[in-house]
Structure 1
Amino acid sequence: MHNEPDIRVAPVEASLRQALLHLSVHETQHDFVGHIADLLADAESCDGSEPMVILHGAMPIGYYRIETQARCIAGRDFVRPTLGLRAFFIDRQWQGRGFGGLALAAIFGDLAIRHPTARDLALTVNSRNTVGLALYHRAGFVDTGELYHGGRSGPQHLLVRALTA
């Protein structure tokens, strides 16, 4: 029997902040994600933003945030109750081990519990981020065909995934 790594997600607590500040991505990924200190500061200043940690056991290995108002992700409203996913990343030391897909599965499970009325999860991914696009497609996100041009690093594909059947 294959033993999956213990990957789970949790809200960022003060006790995890110092460990989170050590997380980073490869230099070529900074255009897509940014620096963790900036991400945490931005999340703390935005109403409706939920900073989250990705844990391998008790060790932080990644970060993302949930936006309760998906409009801030795509600059438009959604027909169904939709959440936004922003700043998703796995630390560079943990990349390439399949943790991204496992983390997304943990996120979907967490959202079903913490946001049971949400029907969809939306995100934007830079058109140059081919690795990210492939990961999100494998996780069930569908490209809407819309490009969001509000990002700092060029056009981004708007992807949406249903959270419930």
Structure 2
Amino acid sequence: MSATGTITLSPLTPELRDAALRITVAPEQVRFGGTPASSIPVADRESARESVVILRDGTPVGYFQLDTRSVPGAPAGAHILGLRALVIDRALQGQGVGRAAMLALPDYVRARFPGRTAVLLTVNADNPPAIALYAATGFVDAGVGIYEGGHAGPQHVLRLDV
């Protein structure tokens, strides 16, 4: 299946908050990206993180965070953002929403974070669908080896130049 409609990215706004908090994933996926209901309060407390909502025709269907400090296990620097907690609502998985969102990410980063030229993330080695998504949208191995400190197991460290 492919995504229908227009996929855009938006900072979390008060108008989008309730719908973003209702985004759900399958129980077996929670260990990989959490849920917006658990992730959004963390971003609210940490000024280094921006909550980003994935919209399909203006309706929240996914969520992630951009962290100006990078992510554990990945290089950090003034030119790097970390991507955390990416989830797509379980009803829309497999429809190209995640792919469209990651393809929109470089333009979003350039507009919102001038001077940031790379996005880094860690992805669980036991999450082939996410690894395939990132590979299909331009992320490459960051060259730092496997991060062993992930709460859900070993993590690949990936990089996208924007």
TM-score, reference length from structure 1: 0.89
Partner of 2:159: 160
Q: Distance in 2 between matches of 1:68 and 1:130?
A: 26
CA distance in 1: counterparts of 2:38 and 2:48, whole angstroms: 17
| Structure 2 counterparts to residues 57-136 of structure 1, below 5 A | 57-70=57-70, 73-75=71-73, 77-78=75-76, 81-136=79-134
Displaced runs of 4 or more, over 6 A: none
Q: Output the CA distance in 2 between the equivalents of 1:129 and 1:120.
A: 22
> Is it true that 1:25 corresponds to 2:29 in the alignment?
no
Q: Which residue identity is paired with 2:50?
A: E
Determine the C-alpha separation between the residues in 1 that align with 2:74 and 2:53: 27
Gaps of 5+ in 2: none
Distance 1:96 1:77 in 2: 30
In the TM superposition, what whole-angstrom CA distance separates every residue of 1:24-83 from its partner, at most 9, and x where no partner exists?
A: 11112111011221101111111210001000011100000100111xx13454467111
Tell me the residue number matched to 1:36. Answer: 36
Q: Decide whether aligned partners of structure 1 residues 23 and 117 sit closer, same or farther in structure 2, where only a CA change above 3 A counts.
A: same
Corresponding residue SS for 2:61: strand
Q: Cα deviations across residues 96-147 of structure 1 (Å, max 9, x unaligned)? A: 1111110111222111111121111100000000000010011111113522
- The number of equivalent residue pairs is 159
Q: Which runs of 5+ in 1 are unaligned?
A: none
Q: CA RMSD in A?
A: 1.7
TM-score, structure 2 length as denominator?
0.91
Q: Partner amino acid for 2:109?
A: L
Identical residues among aligned pairs (%): 36
